[in-house]
Amino acid sequence: MEIFAERTQLALDLVGVFFFAVTGALLAARKGFDVVASALLAGMTGLGGGVVRDVIIGVRPAALEHPVYLAPVLLAVGVVYLYYPHVSRFRRTLLLFDAAGLGLFCVTGTAKALAADVPAVSAALLGVTTAVGGGLLRDVVAREVPSLFRYDDIYALPAMVGAAATAVLWRLDALSVWTGVAASVVTFTLRALALRYSWRAPLAYRRQAPDG
Amino acid sequence: MEIFAERTQLALDLVGVFFFAVTGALLAARKGFDVVASALLAGMTGLGGGVVRDVIIGVRPAALEHPVYLAPVLLAVGVVYLYYPHVSRFRRTLLLFDAAGLGLFCVTGTAKALAADVPAVSAALLGVTTAVGGGLLRDVVAREVPSLFRYDDIYALPAMVGAAATAVLWRLDALSVWTGVAASVVTFTLRALALRYSWRAPLAYRRQAPDG
Amino acid sequence: MEIFAERTQLALDLVGVFFFAVTGALLAARKGFDVVASALLAGMTGLGGGVVRDVIIGVRPAALEHPVYLAPVLLAVGVVYLYYPHVSRFRRTLLLFDAAGLGLFCVTGTAKALAADVPAVSAALLGVTTAVGGGLLRDVVAREVPSLFRYDDIYALPAMVGAAATAVLWRLDALSVWTGVAASVVTFTLRALALRYSWRAPLAYRRQAPDG
């Protein structure tokens, strides 16, 4: 079963890989890694989420079959090598590219899981996995506090919205390139607004009154 | 080949997922994560070990096929949200739930691997992987020292006993729900006693005399 | 399609597992883990890279089918238990065993991926994954800075050379046990020289002049 045409899926994927790979290369530069480590971290960040999704679904990862997936990784490493931003803009640059990757991958990840006949709820969760997996891998291997768990601003929630929207659109037979890209843009916008206005979700436990 | 009837495997699995998910949600609360991060950490802890096992065996993860696996995760997040224990009892609560999950998963994990025609020794190791995998993932992504490696008390050894017992029972054609649950209870009890009495295994190297 | 004869692949694999398992057991001893944790860390280090490669390719991991893969892990744990080196020699011992594992696994990993009909470029990358995966897993779960990312000396680059050489030899129909072992030795030598002379790759970004 096909959700997006193969070339569309590939094109959206490559753009998403590029966005995430930039965040990996930026972090590598920030941490003083060399250019080879930068390529490895960029590759893990850009391809990690999709590989984990494909391995869980049980299909051979697209990045393995099509070595063209390495192109956006190398491009990202080169761009960061040449234009590593001034430290004061580093964090915002990384977070915006991360948000762009999040927006694309929650939609394409859900679509790919639906195409593999996974139940819609699980497909949406695999979309979230695709979207947050690469960044989590990046932060864990580079020994950073995962963005996923920082309390400053919501991170996974926008991806959940985008993935759920994709699954619902598909159920309504209304998932196309245009509605998919719209879901991506909504996700990106929600995440960017969360960053700008420090939107937060409730804590993991009910705060108790000082006397309670 | 079937080891436990499908409904039995599912029921035992869901209880184990709940136990581990509680430990993930507890740690999320302790670290000041929000409720979404709590759900993600609880999900990784509860489902991670089983997903890794299924991916290694080469079957599609049960949690993917049956979205009901999400129910114990959400239940755990809700319970912790409402009843997050006082700090002084936090560590013991987490460790006891962890021990309960360990007991169940080393048995069900081994059984599921045996059902997939894996050699008995490897099946027992996959049972241990199921039992310790979710907790290891929890500790690594939340940047804690993995329980698995703390020297205070044995952790993997009880799971190895339970997994080996399951494989032996199966060889003797004596593995049933009752003997399986008995192996789980033995594992839980060993781990709880290890916690209570600080049972330790020998260090990884022979201590040398000060003059040696 | 067969690259190396089955027994050759197995023999080379077991030696590589032993080298990496020694590094896991050494690190466990250094960190004060117990002997069970040492076995688990040695197992993850020795078998982790190969299991990840096989899971990505979509074949059942060799270590699962052949429990003999546990033998070099247990041997490594025993050797380290008896002969844990004096602290002053600890780091060098670990790095040399790591380099030996790196040399073997980049070649056998690439060969195994080629045998599974993966495109040559992807096969070489899977060879690198096999070579660096176990050590990365070791460092991440034991909370060390991954060797992979340390800037002191090149680490992944020798593995990339060995993996690429293997893929090229295969294309030229010249991959045999002897040329494969030669590629391993070259990789090991490059890594050992990099350690000795602190060979470095360029940083991940172009250094800017103080006034720039």
Query: What is the structure's pLDDT at A198?
Result: 92
Averaged pLDDT of chain A: 92
Q: How far is the C-alpha of B11 from the C-alpha of B27, rounded, in Å?
A: 25
Residue whose pair of structure tokens reads 């694309």 in the numeric block = A104
CB contact under 8 Å between B151 and C67, yes or no, is no
For the cut 80, the answer to whether the pLDDT of residue A209 exceeds it is no
Q: How far is the C-alpha of C34 from the C-alpha of C57, rounded, in Å?
A: 34
For the cut 70, the answer to whether the pLDDT of residue A35 exceeds it is yes
Residue whose pair of structure tokens reads 């994990």 in the numeric block = B109
Query: What is the structure's pLDDT at B211?
Result: 42
3-state secondary structure of A97: helix
Question: How does residue C208 score in pLDDT terms, banded at 50, 70 and 90?
Answer: low
Query: What parts of chain B have a pLDDT lower than 50?
Result: 209-212
Q: Please report the sign of the dihedral spanned by the C-alpha atoms of residue B92, residue B94, residue B96, residue B99.
A: negative
Query: What is the structure's pLDDT at B75?
Result: 97
Query: What is the structure's pLDDT at C125?
Result: 97
Which one, of A64, A50, A191, lies nearest residue A110 by Cα?
A: A50
The answer, for C149 touching chain A at a CB cutoff of 8 Å, is: yes
B142 interaction partners in chain A (CB closer than 8 Å): 149
Q: How large is the ipTM?
A: 0.93
- Closest CB to B122: pick one of C28, C34, C67: C67
Query: What is the structure's pLDDT at C151?
Result: 79
Residues pairing with B203 in the sheet: C34
CA distance C21 to chain B (A): 13
Query: What is the structure's pLDDT at B210?
Result: 45
3-state secondary structure of C199: coil
Query: What is the structure's pLDDT at C210?
Result: 45
Question: How does residue A208 score in pLDDT terms, banded at 50, 70 and 90?
Answer: low
For the cut 60, the answer to whether the pLDDT of residue A211 exceeds it is no
Alpha helices by DSSP H, chain A: 6-30, 35-57, 62-65, 70-83, 87-115, 120-141, 156-171, 177-197
For the cut 90, the answer to whether the pLDDT of residue C179 exceeds it is yes
**Disruptive mutation site among B136, B141, B149 for chain C (greatest number of C CBs within 10 Å):** B149
| Neighbours, chain B (3 or more CB pairs < 8 A) | A, C
| Neighbours, chain A (3 or more CB pairs < 8 A) | B, C
pLDDT digits (tens, 9 = 90+) for C124-147: 999 999 999 999 999 999 999 998
Which range is least confidently modeled, A3-7, C84-88, C171-175, C206-210?
A: C206-210
A200 interaction partners in chain B (CB closer than 8 Å): 34
Chain C, 154 to 183: residues with Cβ < 8 Å from chain B are none
Q: What is the mean pLDDT of residues A40-66?
A: 95
The answer, for A58 touching chain C at a CB cutoff of 8 Å, is: yes
* Interacting residues of B97 by C-beta distance below 8 A, sequence separation 6+: B19, B20, B22, B23, B26
Residue whose pair of structure tokens reads 């193969």 in the numeric block = A6
CB contact under 8 Å between A201 and B35, yes or no, is yes
Predicted TM-score (pTM) of the model is 0.94
Question: How does residue A210 score in pLDDT terms, banded at 50, 70 and 90?
Answer: very low
Q: How far is CA A169 from the centre of its chain?
A: 20
CB contact under 8 Å between B149 and C84, yes or no, is no
Q: Most confidently modeled of C72-86, C98-112, C148-162?
A: C98-112
Backbone angles phi, psi at A23, to 5 degrees: -65, -35
Query: What is the structure's pLDDT at C168?
Result: 97
Reported residue count of chain A is 212
CA distances to B152, B165, C97, C136 from C144, rounded to whole Å, are 20, 34, 17, 9
Q: How far is CA C26 from the centre of its chain?
A: 15
B38 interaction partners in chain A (CB closer than 8 Å): 204
Query: What is the structure's pLDDT at B206?
Result: 85
Which one, of C13, C5, C80, C75, lies nearest residue C49 by Cα?
A: C13
Question: How does residue A212 score in pLDDT terms, banded at 50, 70 and 90?
Answer: very low
The answer, for C90 touching chain B at a CB cutoff of 8 Å, is: no
Contacts 24+ apart (CB under 8 A), C4-13: C4/C108, C4/C111, C4/C177, C4/C180, C8/C177, C9/C108, C9/C111, C9/C112, C10/C62, C10/C66, C10/C68, C12/C104, C12/C107, C12/C108, C12/C180, C12/C181, C13/C50, C13/C62, C13/C69, C13/C104, C13/C108
CB contact under 8 Å between A36 and C200, yes or no, is no
Query: What is the structure's pLDDT at A72?
Result: 97
The secondary element (H helix, E strand) that includes residue A153 is: none
Structure tokens at B135: 């907790």
CA distance B164 to chain C (A): 14
Q: What is the mean pLDDT of residues C168-172?
A: 96
Query: What is the structure's pLDDT at A87?
Result: 65
DSSP B69-126: GHHHHHHHHHHHHHHPPPHHHHHHHHHHHHHHHHHHHHHHHHHHHHHTT--HHHHHHH
DSSP C157-192: HHHHHHHHHHHHHHHTT---HHHHHHHHHHHHHHHH
For the cut 60, the answer to whether the pLDDT of residue C212 exceeds it is no
Residue whose pair of structure tokens reads 């022979």 in the numeric block = B206
Query: What is the structure's pLDDT at B209?
Result: 43
Which one, of B38, B66, C52, lies nearest residue A201 by Cα?
A: B38
Q: How far is the C-alpha of A172 from the C-alpha of B6, rounded, in Å?
A: 33
